[in-house]
Amino acid sequence: MSDFKKNLYSRQKQQDLQLLKLIPDSLPDEIKQALKSSVENLTKQEADQEKFEEYIHKVNSDDIITSFIGLNRCRKLLSNPQIAAPTEQMIELFFQTRVHIKIFDIAKNTNIPLLKYEALWIICNIGFGTQKQIQTIVDNDGINILFQALESEYVEIKELGVWALANMAGENLIFRDMLLQQGVLKVFINLANKCRDNQSETNNWGTKNLTILKTLVWAFSNLAKGKKTPEKIFFKDLVYILCQIIVETEDEEILKDACWGLSYLSQEDFLMHIIIQEQITQKLVLLLQKENQSIVIPALRILGNILTGNEEQTNVVMNCGVVQVFQKLLQNNKRNIRQEVCWSLSNIAAGSSGQVKQIIRDDQLLNSIFLLLNNETSNVIEQISYIFSNCIFSAELEDIDYLVIQHGLFQKMSLLLDMNEKIVIRVTLEGIYQIQKRVQNDQRQEQYKKFIVDSKIMDKVADQLKYSSKEISSKASKVFEIFNS
C-alpha cells in the first residue's frame, strides 16, 4: 500500500466528524437528524467485509439514509488497510455487482453533498486499482464528475476531486497526458491560487485551506513525473507554480512534494532557464540545511540538475554558497545524500577552471571527500572518481599542482584502482592519462612521473592490462604509452 493511501486512510478518521456540514439545511428536520446520527455512529465503527452484499443493497436504495449508510460502509471497506482483501480484489467485487454504476450516478447527480462526498471517495479508491479498473472511471464519465467536484463550495469535496485526478495521473502516463489535454493543470493552478490567504500582507500561502493545498502540491508532483509530452507549455506552467510554492511556503510536507515535482522537471534542458529566472536557488540551498532529509534529497537533486547546465547556470548555484553546504552534507549519515553531493560536485568539476578552483582550493571540502574513500559504497566512490577526473580535465595546471602536491592526488587515484568496480577503474585510468597529457613537455612532467611511480600506479595499471576487459585494458595501454613517451 502506498504512503499516500495510508495517509488517505488516516485523514478519513479525522474528517468523518466534519461531514455534518455536508448535510444541507434544505432537508426535512427528520432526515437531517437521521443523517447526523448515522454520521456520528458510523464514525466509531469499521466496516465488516462479511456484510458486503448488505452494503451493496443499501447503496442501491432510494432512501437517503439507507443509501448513505451503504456508501459509507463501502467507502470504509475500500479505504481500510486492515481489510484482508487487497484493494484491487475488493474493487473487482464491486464491479461484479455493478454497484459502481449507481455510485457514479450519485456522484454526478445527487444534490446532497454528504452522499456526493461518499460516492467520490469510493471513486477515489478505484483510482488505486489496476489500469483496467482506473479505465472504468473514464468509461463512466468519471473525469467530468471529478472536474465538477473541483467546483464545489465544499473544501472536502474539492479535495477528493484533486485526490482522484492526481492519483490517476501518477499511476499511468496515458491517463496523465489525457488529463493534461483536458485542462487539469489549469484547474489545479487556479484552485491552488484560491488557497492563498488573501488577508496576508505578504501574499504567502495561507493556512486556511492548507489541507487541500497539500493535496494540490502532491498532484503537481504527480503531473511532473515521467516522460514529457510534446506540449511543453504544460510543464512550463508546472515549473512556475512549483517554484512559487517553494519560495513562499515553509510547510515541510508541501516543500517535500513541491521539491520532488521540481526535481523531475529540472531534468529537462528546456525548463532550466525558467527555474533559474524564478530565483529559487537561494531557497533550495537553505533547504539543504534542514534536518528533514525528505526535503534535503529532492532539493539536492534540483541543484545537481542545474549544475549540469552551462557556466552561467552553474554560477547561479555556486554564488549561493552551495559548496560550503556540500562540505557539511558529505558527513551526513544518509548514503544517498552523500552520493547526490558527490554527483553535484562532479558536475561543478566539469565546469570552468574558475568553478573547479572553488573545489580544489577548499581544503575542508577535499578532506571530507578523501575521508569517504576509506569506507564508502561503490556508488559514492564512482562519483568521487568523476570528481578527480573532471578536475584534471578542467582545472588550471597550478590548481592540479595543488591537488597533487598538497593533497596527494596520485595516492588517492591509486586507491581507486584497487576498487573492484569497472566504472571507477575506467574513469580513473582516463584521469591518469589526461593528467600526464596535460604536463607532457612541461617542466612538471618528470616530477609527476615520480609521483606516479611512488604511488604504485604503474604496477596497478599493468595488472589492468593482464586481467581486465577490452575497454579498460585499452585505457591502461594508453597510460603506459604516454608514461613511457
Predicted confidence (pLDDT) per residue in 347-381, tens digit: 999 999 999 999 999 999 999 999 999 888 999 99
In a domain, 334, yes or no: yes
Instruction: Establish how many alpha carbons lie within 13 A of residue 462's alpha carbon, considering only the half-sphere containing its beta carbon.
Output: 8
Q: Of residues 84 and 186, which shows the higher confidence score?
A: 186
Q: What is the pLDDT of residue 201?
A: 42
**Are 309 and 339 members of one domain?**
no
Quick check: helix, strand or coil at residue 361?
Answer: coil
Phi/psi of residue 402, each to 5°? -65, -40
Helix axes 210-224, 233-248, angle to 10 degrees: 140
**Are 336 and 198 members of one domain?**
no
**Which among 182, 215, 230 is the end of a domain?**
182
Q: What is the pLDDT of residue 6?
A: 39
Q: Is the pLDDT of residue 208 over 60?
A: no
**Which among 182, 204, 238 is the end of a domain?**
182
Q: Is the pLDDT of residue 270 over 70?
A: yes
> How many whole angstroms separate alpha carbon 313 and alpha carbon 52?
59
In a domain, 302, yes or no: yes
Helix axes 353-360, 363-375, angle to 10 degrees: 70
Q: What is the pLDDT of residue 109?
A: 95
**Are 347 and 484 members of one domain?**
yes
Grid cell 532557464 is found at 273
Q: Which three cell numbers stand for residue 14?
A: 479525522
**Are 152 and 197 members of one domain?**
no
Q: Is the pLDDT of residue 224 over 50?
A: yes
Q: Is the pLDDT of residue 197 over 70?
A: no
pTM equals: 0.88
**Are 339 and 477 members of one domain?**
yes
Q: Of residues 316 and 467, which shows the higher confidence score?
A: 316
In a domain, 128, yes or no: yes
Q: Which three cell numbers stand for residue 138?
A: 473514464
CA distances from 398 to 151, 354, 434, 438 (A): 65, 12, 15, 12
In a domain, 113, yes or no: yes
Q: What is the pLDDT of residue 196?
A: 63
Report yes or no: 291 and 330 within 8 Å, Cβ to Cβ. Answer: no
**Are 390 and 450 members of one domain?**
yes
Q: What is the pLDDT of residue 470?
A: 87
Cβ of 352: how many Cβ atoms within 10 Å?
14
The torsion angle over the Cα atoms of residues 457, 459, 460 and 462, rounded to 10 degrees, is: 120
The percent of residues in the chain predicted with pLDDT above 70, rounded, is 91
**Are 10 and 147 members of one domain?**
yes
Band (19; pLDDT cuts 50, 70, 90) = confident
Q: Which three cell numbers stand for residue 46?
A: 469499521
Beta-carbon contacts of 468 under 8 Å, excluding residues fewer than 6 positions away, are 422, 425, 476
Q: Determine the length of the chain.
A: 485
> How many whole angstroms separate alpha carbon 90 and alpha carbon 67?
19
Q: Which three cell numbers stand for residue 369?
A: 571527500
Q: What is the pLDDT of residue 12?
A: 54
**Which among 283, 318, 353 is the end of a domain?**
318
Show the CA angle centred on residue 351, arms to residues 345 and 355, nearest 5°: 75
Q: What is the pLDDT of residue 23?
A: 93
Q: What is the pLDDT of residue 483?
A: 92
Choose among 331, 335, 276: nearest CA to 308.
276
Q: Which three cell numbers stand for residue 404?
A: 597533487
Instruction: Establish how many alpha carbons lie within 13 A of residue 93's alpha carbon, considering only the half-sphere containing its beta carbon.
Output: 16
**Are 303 and 421 members of one domain?**
no
Q: What is the pLDDT of residue 198?
A: 41
Q: Which three cell numbers stand for residue 208?
A: 486556511
Choose among 399, 468, 477, 463: nearest CA to 432.
477
Q: Is the pLDDT of residue 299 over 80?
A: yes
Q: From the centroid of its chain, how far is CA 340?
A: 14
Residues 187-209 have a mean pLDDT of 65
The percent of residues in the chain predicted with pLDDT above 90, rounded, is 74
Residues 75-86 have a mean pLDDT of 77
> How many whole angstroms separate alpha carbon 206 and alpha carbon 200?
8
Q: Provide the residue range defining the domain that includes 343.
A: 321-485
Average of per-residue pLDDT values in the chain: 90
Grid cell 574513500 is found at 373
What tens digit of pLDDT does each residue of 81-123 get? 776 667 888 899 999 999 999 999 999 999 999 999 999 999 9
What tens digit of pLDDT does each residue of 313-346 get? 999 999 999 999 999 999 999 999 999 999 999 9
110-113 LR contacts (CB < 8 Å, sep 24+): 111/24, 112/22, 112/23, 112/24, 112/27, 112/64, 113/22, 113/23, 113/24, 113/152, 113/154, 113/157
In a domain, 187, yes or no: no
Handedness of CA 70, 76, 79, 82 (dihedral sign): negative
Quick one: the chain helix, strand, coil %, rounded to 5? 75, 0, 25
Grid cell 573547479 is found at 356
**Which H/E stretch holds residue 321?**
none
Q: What is the pLDDT of residue 108?
A: 96
> How many whole angstroms separate alpha carbon 422 and alpha carbon 410?
19
What tens digit of pLDDT does each residue of 379-415 get? 999 999 999 999 999 999 999 999 999 999 999 999 9
**Are 82 and 146 members of one domain?**
yes
Q: From the centroid of its chain, how far is CA 347?
A: 21
Band (231; pLDDT cuts 50, 70, 90) = low
Residues 41-49 have a mean pLDDT of 88
Band (169; pLDDT cuts 50, 70, 90) = confident
> How many whole angstroms separate alpha carbon 161 and alpha carbon 199?
26
> How many whole angstroms separate alpha carbon 386 and alpha carbon 460?
19
Q: What is the pLDDT of residue 1?
A: 36
Choose among 102, 116, 126: nearest CA to 8.
126
Q: Which three cell numbers stand for residue 103?
A: 455510485
Grid cell 488529463 is found at 179
Check which CATH number belongs to the domain holding 144 and give it: 1.25.10.10
**Are 270 and 367 members of one domain?**
no
In a domain, 296, yes or no: yes
In a domain, 188, yes or no: no
Quick check: helix, strand or coil at residue 197?
Answer: coil
**Are 482 and 470 members of one domain?**
yes
In a domain, 115, yes or no: yes
What is the number of structural domains in the chain? Answer: 3
Report yes or no: 457 and 412 within 8 Å, Cβ to Cβ. Answer: no
**Are 351 and 449 members of one domain?**
yes
> How many whole angstroms separate alpha carbon 208 and alpha carbon 132?
37
Amino acid symbol at 478 = K
